[in-house]
Copies of this chain bind each other. A is one copy, B any other.
Amino acid sequence: MTTLDPAIAGRLKRNPDGLVPAVVQQHDTGEVLMLGWMDDEALARTLTTGRATYWSRSRQEYWLKGETSGHVQWVKEVRLDCDGDTILVKVDQVGAACHTGDRTCFDADLLSGADRPGPDARG
């Protein structure tokens, strides 16, 4: 069913849907671009093709990032976390990572931080 290296598959801890969250980071600037989800096959394709591939939970199909938009993610490095339940994918992002056209999926909605006027902000 999948071409994933059994030594890697044995370390993965999947959620009840068989998926693992993948944090996607621009390799040189360190920007966190988005969070995707991978099953074993998506991870195998990401590792072997060098292009980030996810499982689309909304469309229920494999999603080769940039296939329609051209906003490809070239894979530079893939890491697994200490307990095997999160993947970190460092990529070179072509164009916008976000479907809104923003560079990252986190650009638009600041909940708290230095740039956000607090309750005491004036003027």
Contact = CB atoms under 8 A, between A and B. Distances in A.
Interface string A30-46: 11101100000000000
Given A8-B111, A90-B113, A99 B82 contact: yes
Number of chain copies forming the complex: 2
B82 A113 contact: no
Interface residues of A, number: 41
B25 A32 contact: yes
Nearest to A75: B112
A6 B84 CA distance: 34
Interface of A: 8, 11, 21, 23, 25, 29-32, 34-35, 47, 75-88, 90, 98-100, 102, 105-106, 108-115
